[in-house]
Amino acid sequence: MSSLYFNLLATLLWLKIFTESTAIFLRKVTGLGFPRATLPESGALVSKSVVITGANRGVGLETAKAFARLGATVMMIIPRTNGSISPHLLLLLYTQVILGCRDLTAGQAALEEIKGCTEEPKYHRNLHLHRLDLASFTSIGAFARQVRQTLQQVNNGGPPQLHYLINNAGVMMTAEERTEDGLELQFGANYLGPFLLTHLLLDLLKAGHDQARIVNLSSISHNAGLMAFDNLNLVGGAYTPLKAYAQSKLATVLWSRQLAKRLPIEQVTVYSVHPGIVQTELYARSVNRFARLCRRLAGPLAFTTAEQGAQTTLYCALEPALAAESGHYYK
């Protein structure tokens, strides 16, 4: 019965994706354009700090560019170019900068691209190396300690503060694999890793006088999600790439709602977002042949660009009107 129910949800999901892609196509051919987040003036976030995961390409890179242009202290966690989620690269712009990766090629290219988006050379100084693996609880703990030390330096020895946390990184419809801690890879990398990172940094988000914001990237695929609470690792033949991906993204939405209920809205707000049907390399690394085929054939016409996909994230992170909202899902 559950298998039939999931197949029904999956069919409805593909219909939703087709509908959204058609709308994107019509906007492109008619020249209607796409909504854009209203950003503050350049330099408006000079005293702010932000952690962004998965910022070497796609939506994460475009998000990092926007924050860097605004003068924020930007920490980007960047996966390797070979598609693995580990290790990751952390970049911090404007004040203390931390980078961590064994393969710096993708990270250096992303850094140079972000430098080109900023007008102030002082945003580029103070680079250091550090390592993070979102599929390793040990690595996440070590990374959180490094963030704490870095932000304390940024605050001239005072209490460390974090103003924005963008949990952007993830994997999509991969082959069945396990994390370092023995968990199903998509559930671990898309949900449990960001969950742990967020809670290790939560006191830093609460420390400031201004309201902090957490933005968790989910997906339209959460509509096909079923929480297998008695088999979260989907062992014993229960695994399919879409089922695991949808479960991880549903978990992200549910966690965002629950976290918002537990945090005072005047201190921290939480949002989960669907960035849209975006032309990114997530599809290229997916083992779902239908998804890869759709990207190859329809991507240029019916998918948004990474910059357009980043607008929902930027809206939730920076829109003043959302200060009174928390726990909602945006698309």
Both structure tokens of 106: 């993708």
Sequence ranges of the domains in the chain: 2-23+57-86+163-330
What are the phi and psi torsion angles at 282 (to 5°)? -55, -40
d(CA 194, CA 58): 18
What are the phi and psi torsion angles at 96 (to 5°)? -70, 130
On the question of a cis peptide bond just before residue 320, with omega within 30 degrees of 0, the verdict is: no
Both structure tokens of 89: 């690269």
Whether 129 and 150 have beta carbons less than 8 Å apart is answered as no
Residue-level pLDDT at 123: 54
Residue-level pLDDT at 106: 64
Task: Let me know the angle formed at the C-alpha of 299 by 293 and 304, rounded to the nearest 5 degrees.
Answer: 145
Residue-level pLDDT at 281: 80
Return the active site residues: 245
Residue-level pLDDT at 307: 93
CATH architecture of 2-23+57-86+163-330: 3-Layer(aba) Sandwich (3.40)
Q: What is the mean pLDDT of each run of 10 residues along the chain (331 residues)?
A: 85 93 93 87 73 83 81 61 46 41 54 67 49 84 87 80 90 94 96 96 91 96 96 96 97 98 96 94 81 83 93 95 96 93
pTM, to two decimals:
0.89
